[in-house]
Structure 1
Amino acid sequence: MTTQAIGERIKRNEDPRLLTGQALFVDDVALPEMVHVAFVRSQYAHARLAGIDVAEAKAHPGVLAVYTAEDLGDYWQHGPLLVPPPPVAGMIFHQRTQVPLAKGKVRHLGEPVALVVAVSRYVAEDAAEKVFVDYDPLPAVVDLEKALEPGASLVHEDVGSNLAAFVPQKKGDYAAARAQADVVIRRRFWYDRGASAAIENRGVVAQWDHRAQKLTVWDTTQAPIPIRNGLAAMLALSEHQVRLVAPFIGGGFGPKIMMFYPEEVLIPWLAIRLGRPVKWIEDRQENFYATTQERGQLHDAEAAFTKDGILLGVKDSFLHDTGAYDPYGLTVPLNSQCTLMGPYRVPAYDSELRAVFTNKTIVTPYRGAGRQHGVFVIERLMDLAAKELGIDRTEIRRRNYLRPDEFPHDHVIIYQDFAPLYYDSGNYEPVLDQTLERIGYHHFLREEQPRLRAAGRKVGIGIVAYVEGTGIGPFEGARVQVQSSGKVTVVTGVGTQGQGHFTVLAQVAAEQLGVEVADVDVVTGDSDQFHWGTGTFASRGAVVAGNAVHEAAKSVREKAIRLAAEHLGAAEETIELAGGRAGVVGETGRSIALGELAKLANPMRGAVKPGTEPGLESTRYFGPFRGATASGCHAMIVEVDPETMQVKVEKYVVVHDCGRVINPLLVDGQVHGGVAQGLGNAFYEELVFDDNGQLLNASFMDFLLPTALDVPRVEVGHEETVSPLNALGTKGAGEAGAIPVGALFAQAVEDALAVPGLEILEIPLKPGRLWELVNKAG
């Protein structure tokens, strides 16, 4: 086989459609007689519903219907628990999931209490303002520690407290490790909330065809097949009666994997009930409290070290803000708990997590999905230990890295996939060495930093390490077909939100079938095209769907070789696929186009031989036994203005190991985007709630996002430690750019300011907060 597609820096197949405005997004869907929905959302974070008067709204011209929870009848039900908690001894978990419309009580700002259907969104919004809701306000639960105090207001009275979950996990004997330590570093760390702020908000369009008895739904979801399955069950339809289309999506980042948002449940129900297409598109303010969020955690952590900087053990007890409901189970805090051990040898680990119900928006994964918190804690502990022991911050990491001969490595505690935390492979020192070289670490410390400081400039450098569990199950599938035109079609159930699936999956198929990547058409996110799959999340698309495509394409390749050998009168081992043809090696005149082979494989007369299938087509599934562990290092040089506390990133370097790299260009792009989000989370973005649970900055006027002027050029390097868990040897890369940025930012800014006693133990930062921390230290 001479075609080389994997490993090439190939531009994205999908970009011409996106750049010329030819791509379909949910808001582009316009259907005859379509009606529009606006939601009436709670103005309080916590209140009882004394009554809802919809009479005036119903009478508004252009309004078709107004619904409250009472109008939904048996369709009103709690949403599913998406991810059950794993079997951890001593665990407590209280399942409380969201509802389509609030009944009796609202539990977070923006929770929907009613909806209006009208001839246009403008009319629906005007009518929604005429719905009168009688609220009886209750004290809001906002602070994590106060939420667990006796006498605190209860988000769910039937639970008896605001404790949503408790998960203790242990490895080794931390008490014994602590007793042997020369130094113990103990600190409190805070990582606050943020919003994903995708460029495209959520949206749902639904159409019921009463003649065909079929429901079509266009949805900005990262999980089209599970949404299809769930809607069919809720609406008492068979799965083949529901078509779920996830078209191009302007950013997912995790919140769009949430199932089921109230709007996803209600819009299809309305389409069937009204017999008309129904559309709802989230506006930006709604997005700030109706779309799930992430990040809020408070950690009390300590680490025990020898005088040589060898880590003996870590102990961590933390509170996790799960918001008003917990439909995503414990995925986010478990990721924090497991990722905290990082790329290091941790002989003893004692961790307790407590998830806490609050009167805030639901928390579900957002790019990193809890890993940021764990990385922040362990990397800051490493920094503090290095300073205490007088060891270079990179050297203390090197001394504690797991060695290549220690893989596969079992960390014992239970991960989100219900199995012990297991690192399949890794080689961390080359990643660190390449990062040091690219950032110019030693040169900066020896020459640049002293020279610039002598000139009065506050410059600093940071370098941190991380691991990321990627490519988890349960499975994905793919169908690969060679058409009579010679073109190849790849169909899979995953959705795409900009990751480059149309190109990466095409590369995988092209390499097996010996065709150009441009000749492979990839179809994603349409449940009528492919019936089974899980979704796009947890940096798993290229790993899980990619390996399904690989297996299907390999099967088609075998069929093509067998058929070509029979047609050309040659032995199978002499046939190669290249340039869109199957031919005998070394005999240029003996070949046949793949398109012609496809025709031969689908005869119009005769019989298909027993044990064979017509067509050059195959469907295969891939379910990884475990997730593949990616790793990397980030480094940056910053300058801080001591007058304004503004921070400028002068240089940023990422070296990432995601196993075999299918397309370095696309991996670089994923890393760039992740770094931009990570910098936003570290210094610009913070959701500010008052004591009543009111969100004070629900607009881009007040919730700051980094712009092109703020995000530096990111230099990316690669190492490849091939995963033994899949045929392609790949690991995920989608979240790597975002995960360690908070820890890196804190280290670099602390180094730049060089204020005795200054310790940055919280994220996000902002100039005003930096000023407070510096003055407090001084």
Structure 2
Amino acid sequence: MADTGNPTGIGASVKRKEDFRFLTGQGTYTDDIKRPGQAYAYILRSPHAHAEIVKIDTARAKAMPGVVAIFTGADYDKGGVPCGWQIHSKDGSPMVEPPHFPLCKDRVRHVGDQVALVIGESLAQARDAAEAIAVTYKELPAIVSTADADKPGAAQVWPDAKNNTCFDWHLGDKAAVDAAFAKAHHVTKIDIVNQRLAPNAMEPRAAIGDYDRATGEYTLYTTSQNPHVIRLLMGAFVLQIPEHKLRVVAPDVGGGFGSKIFHYSEEALVTWAAAKVRRPVKWTSDRSEAFISDAQGRDHVSHAELALDKDGKFLALRVSTKANMGAYLSTFAPCVPTYLSATLLAGVYTTPAIYAEVKAVFTNTVAVDAYRGAGRPETTYLLERLVEKAARETGIDRVELRRKNFIPKDAFPYQTPVALQYDSGDYFSTLDIALKRADWAGFEARRAEAKKRGKLRGIGISTYIEACGIAPSAVVGSLGARAGLYECGSIRVHPTGSVTVFTGTHSHGQGHETTFAQLVSDTLGVPFDSVEVSHGDTNKIPFGMGTYGSRSLAVGGSALVKAMDKIIAKATRIAAHLMEASAADVEFKNGEFSVKGTDKKVPFGQVALTAYVPHNYPITELEPGLEETAFYDPLNFTYPGGCHICEVEIDPDTGVTQVAKFTAVDDIGRVINPMIVEGQVHGGVVQGIGQALLENCAYDNESGQLLTGSYMDYTMPRADDVPSIDVATHNTMCTHNPLGSKGVGEVGAIGSPPAVINAVLDALLPVGVKDITMPATPVKVWQAIQSAGSAKAAE
């Protein structure tokens, strides 16, 4: 598929058509929806990290003004929220999969666990009634530390999970790795903490349950990236509602970053309660509630070792990780540290032998699941910190060490030792372009200038790869996925030639209404403004798997291409009939059908009208109408990659780190809209800088209380924390999807954290600091400088 030069087609930086309604306040978010007779829900949540529920007294609360109903775990009679991915341990045993009821039955297991659902005529009345509920708790010991969760004597979250272990999994060839380490010239070791993060989408989660007594139909309006999967999980496994009686609508969604993929208890509660009280029930989270109820991200503790020969070639890698699941298993949590993380441990390098162990543990904390990048940022951070340390220890230039071990450009398709096969890439070029754009060669002069001003300047690099568009379904099914990972797309051509696109993916800020319209405009030759994109309503789309893992264009867009191929094939036969020619002699280009070697032409719009007004139509050969649907199940993951370079300046007197320059050069396959690509990279890089320098979910080790439960304590990046980001692409095409696209939504968050921390350590190396953990906050940096100074003085 080649760019056609269409000013609104593939490769054009078209302004996002959806932005007008957002910028003018005309969007429709879940909280904007008000159903007739709507009541309001408030959830009473546990103030304890771990406790038995001895008694719940709701008598006083039920008598308060405006109270419609109060439900507790004793009232809830349906199923628990399921996990969508099963992992088996080394010994073949399935993971421990505890029940997760939307309302706690007998015990709470993290601060924020759901204890009671209060429904009122107004939210204020529901909240007041919740405060009047008397709950008697018997507090129990809690465990929140990932590193300590499986140690003897740790508080037990679930009786069936011995030593709080959910699963103990492995991947790779241990014997080959051990043999390689035995002959290594040098071994570099590192301990890595990838701290827990709160997603903090702009729009908090919300849900409205509605029930129609006349038809027995349920409708859930929800802030979801994944409406069809919510319908499947909630209908089949939780509430036992037949799918034809359950509609899920995800309207405009203000950001997700992964946190809105999952099926949450609140969605099931409002849907179930709507039938109980026979009126719509709305719940909207506030920001404080989000901190203790939204699935959080990362939280891995790892030890890694890299074996090198005397020339600096990588021989083997071994990694041992503990991954925190929280108190419950969220929808895709088990696959994040395993098949989305360990399978990327080869990175962009030719490491011939790799062995990884992953132990997942339960703790008395909020559940952990996919957050922008989902496993790939964790792996990239570990690898790039390890490679950087290896360069320091061996004395090999850090850029040359990477080049020495890159997968060659002529080695694709490249089979890694950890299951995945990369189809295309050019890591040398992205590195070279990034080095030039970042002026790597001129850095030492900038370092010297900063030193004159009393500042420490450092530069860091990260070369990465990720896996997007998780597939194929048969493979992921064998790895534990409890759903297919294909996508569906429908193209409806209207009689006047305008087009409605129905996609099973979902936009929560990525600009799908623009990029998909560009794709259709380019392929069918219809005006960009004549293309409408519909998504997010299970009653409109046959089925879809939602948006996550940078899959929308590579998987959802490919489904649309297949549907358009069907449209063009049928339209060609209609056009051939109109022009009294053989279909084999008709070609389609730039919105027109023509007969080869003649001046006969028929525009696409005329063919569309003929399909719906079939007065002159091959009726014996074709049905009227022009609408097609296609499903696309990818043959493989896609593999974006690239190089990120960060330059920082540190004030040694305060520990304040300023990101002075940031360069991102990424290989994301075919680009539909360069402006949207740039915006996606910007957003991801800012989130990566946030993790590297600012953000951290911290729990008190004794009480299990979340210490960073508001923006007063959880530091989000602000405009003055980031520089202007230099973004470029150098693209190799994906070889196995019709678009050649690889995905861009997560690359910024994957490549940036190690680039930032490597830059921080490069700046601190002259003062003797050799390691630092994320986030590198001012106090942490200052303390590291003081400790290094004290150690040097003691010598």
The TM-score, its normalising length taken from structure 1, stands at 0.95
1:317 aligns with 320
Percent sequence identity over matched residues? 39
The 2-side partners of 1:90 and 1:71 are apart by 37
CA distance 1:238–1:142, change in 2 (3 Å): closer
Q: Which stretch of the first structure deviates more once superposed, 9-18 or 728-737?
A: 9-18
8 Å Cα contact 1:166/1:355 also seen in 2: yes
Give the secondary structure class of the aligned counterpart of 1:265. Answer: helix
2:783 aligns with 772
Deviations along 1:206-242, whole A, 9 cap, x unmatched?
Answer: 2222223322221111111111223333444332222
Deviation at 1:608, TM superposition (A): 7.1
Deviations along 1:376-411, whole A, 9 cap, x unmatched?
Answer: 111111111111121211111111111122222222
Deviation at 1:284, TM superposition (A): 0.5
Q: Residue type matched to 2:448 in 1?
A: P
Deviations along 1:269-298, whole A, 9 cap, x unmatched?
Answer: 111222211100111011001000011111
Deviation at 1:89, TM superposition (A): 6.2
Give the secondary structure class of the aligned counterpart of 2:466. Answer: strand
Q: Residue type matched to 1:735 in 2?
A: E
Give the secondary structure class of the aligned counterpart of 1:629. Answer: coil
Deviation at 1:84, TM superposition (A): 1.9
The 2-side partners of 1:485 and 1:134 are apart by 66
Equivalences for residues 97-116 of structure 1 within 5 A: 97-116=99-118
1:244 aligns with 248
Deviation at 1:123, TM superposition (A): 0.8
Deviation at 1:90, TM superposition (A): 4.9
1:759 aligns with 770
Q: Residue type matched to 1:396 in 2?
A: L
2:311 aligns with 308
Q: Which stretch of the first structure deviates more once superposed, 719-728 or 427-436?
A: 719-728
8 Å Cα contact 1:26/1:219 also seen in 2: yes
The 2-side partners of 1:245 and 1:254 are apart by 18
Give the secondary structure class of the aligned counterpart of 1:559. Answer: helix
Q: Residue type matched to 1:492 in 2?
A: T
8 Å Cα contact 1:3/1:579 also seen in 2: no
Q: CA RMSD in A?
A: 2.0
1:624 aligns with 634
Q: Residue type matched to 1:463 in 2?
A: I
Deviations along 1:59-110, whole A, 9 cap, x unmatched?
Answer: 110000000011112x1x2221211226966566211242101111111110
CA distance 1:501–1:746, change in 2 (3 Å): same
8 Å Cα contact 2:208/2:267 also seen in 1: no
8 Å Cα contact 1:515/1:578 also seen in 2: no
Give the secondary structure class of the aligned counterpart of 1:485. Answer: coil
1:427 aligns with 426
8 Å Cα contact 1:341/1:374 also seen in 2: no
Aligned to 1:210, which of 210, 213, 230?
213
1:701 aligns with 712
CA distance 1:693–1:559, change in 2 (3 Å): same
2:559 aligns with 548
1:594 lines up with 2:604 in the alignment:
yes
Deviation at 1:138, TM superposition (A): 0.7
The 1-side partners of 2:715 and 2:353 are apart by 40
Give the secondary structure class of the aligned counterpart of 1:39. Answer: strand
Deviation at 1:576, TM superposition (A): 5.0
Deviation at 1:572, TM superposition (A): 3.8
The 2-side partners of 1:585 and 1:611 are apart by 23
Deviation at 1:579, TM superposition (A): 6.1
1:84 aligns with 86
1:229 lines up with 2:209 in the alignment:
no
1:416 aligns with none
Equivalences for residues 328-339 of structure 1 within 5 A: 328-334=332-338, 335-339=340-344
Give the secondary structure class of the aligned counterpart of 2:148. Answer: helix
The 1-side partners of 2:23 and 2:83 are apart by 38
Q: Which stretch of the first structure deviates more once superposed, 693-702 or 59-68?
A: 693-702
Deviations along 1:699-725, whole A, 9 cap, x unmatched?
Answer: 112211111222221111111111112
Give the secondary structure class of the aligned counterpart of 2:496. Answer: coil
The 2-side partners of 1:356 and 1:633 are apart by 33
CA distance 1:401–1:285, change in 2 (3 Å): same
Give the secondary structure class of the aligned counterpart of 1:314. Answer: strand
Q: Residue type matched to 1:594 in 2?
A: F
1:409 lines up with 2:414 in the alignment:
yes
The 2-side partners of 1:239 and 1:633 are apart by 45
The 1-side partners of 2:782 and 2:752 are apart by 21
Q: Residue type matched to 1:365 in 2?
A: A
Aligned to 1:43, which of 47, 67, 92?
47
Aligned to 1:400, which of 405, 408, 428?
405
The 1-side partners of 2:92 and 2:171 are apart by 9
Q: Which stretch of the first structure deviates more once superposed, 168-177 or 553-562?
A: 168-177
1:662 lines up with 2:660 in the alignment:
no
Give the secondary structure class of the aligned counterpart of 1:116. Answer: strand
Give the secondary structure class of the aligned counterpart of 1:71. Answer: coil
Deviation at 1:658, TM superposition (A): 1.0
8 Å Cα contact 1:472/1:544 also seen in 2: no
CA distance 1:249–1:624, change in 2 (3 Å): same
The 1-side partners of 2:96 and 2:423 are apart by 33
The 2-side partners of 1:611 and 1:94 are apart by 57
Equivalences for residues 363-512 of structure 1 within 5 A: 363-413=368-418, 420-445=419-444, 447-473=445-471, 474-512=485-523
Deviation at 1:594, TM superposition (A): 3.0
Deviations along 1:285-339, whole A, 9 cap, x unmatched?
Answer: 1100100001111111111112322111111111111100123242111123222
Q: Which stretch of the first structure deviates more once superposed, 560-569 or 276-285?
A: 560-569
Equivalences for residues 517-666 of structure 1 within 5 A: 517-572=528-583, 575=586, 577=588, 580-583=591-594, 590-603=600-613, 609=619, 612-666=622-676
Q: Residue type matched to 1:29 in 2?
A: I
1:680 lines up with 2:690 in the alignment:
yes
Deviation at 1:516, TM superposition (A): 2.3
2:27 aligns with 23
Deviations along 1:613-634, whole A, 9 cap, x unmatched?
Answer: 3211111110012111110111
Deviation at 1:437, TM superposition (A): 0.6
Unaligned runs of 5+ in 2: 472-484, 790-795
Give the secondary structure class of the aligned counterpart of 1:304. Answer: strand
8 Å Cα contact 1:376/1:742 also seen in 2: yes
Deviations along 1:591-628, whole A, 9 cap, x unmatched?
Answer: 44433322321346799745633211111110012111
8 Å Cα contact 1:189/1:761 also seen in 2: no
Deviation at 1:674, TM superposition (A): 0.4
The 1-side partners of 2:216 and 2:657 are apart by 59
8 Å Cα contact 2:230/2:262 also seen in 1: no
The 2-side partners of 1:136 and 1:450 are apart by 61
Deviation at 1:147, TM superposition (A): 1.8
Q: Residue type matched to 1:440 in 2?
A: D
8 Å Cα contact 2:503/2:535 also seen in 1: yes
The 1-side partners of 2:616 and 2:455 are apart by 83
The 1-side partners of 2:598 and 2:128 are apart by 74
8 Å Cα contact 2:587/2:595 also seen in 1: yes
The 2-side partners of 1:529 and 1:87 are apart by 40
| Number of residue equivalences | 767
Deviations along 1:30-57, whole A, 9 cap, x unmatched?
Answer: 1221100000000000111111111111
Aligned to 1:181, which of 181, 184, 198?
184
Give the secondary structure class of the aligned counterpart of 1:255. Answer: coil
Q: Which stretch of the first structure deviates more once superposed, 234-243 or 310-319?
A: 234-243
Aligned to 1:730, which of 728, 741, 759?
741
Aligned to 1:721, which of 732, 753, 774?
732
Give the secondary structure class of the aligned counterpart of 2:372. Answer: coil
Q: Which stretch of the first structure deviates more once superposed, 424-433 or 16-25?
A: 16-25
2:75 aligns with 71
1:671 lines up with 2:655 in the alignment:
no
1:747 lines up with 2:758 in the alignment:
yes
1:195 lines up with 2:189 in the alignment:
no
Aligned to 1:13, which of 17, 34, 47?
17
Deviation at 1:448, TM superposition (A): 2.4
8 Å Cα contact 2:463/2:643 also seen in 1: yes
Q: Which stretch of the first structure deviates more once superposed, 320-329 or 687-696?
A: 320-329
The 2-side partners of 1:351 and 1:92 are apart by 18
Deviation at 1:677, TM superposition (A): 0.8
Deviation at 1:652, TM superposition (A): 0.8
1:292 aligns with 295
Deviations along 1:414-465, whole A, 9 cap, x unmatched?
Answer: xxxxxx22212211100100000110001213x3223332443311111111
Deviation at 1:548, TM superposition (A): 0.3
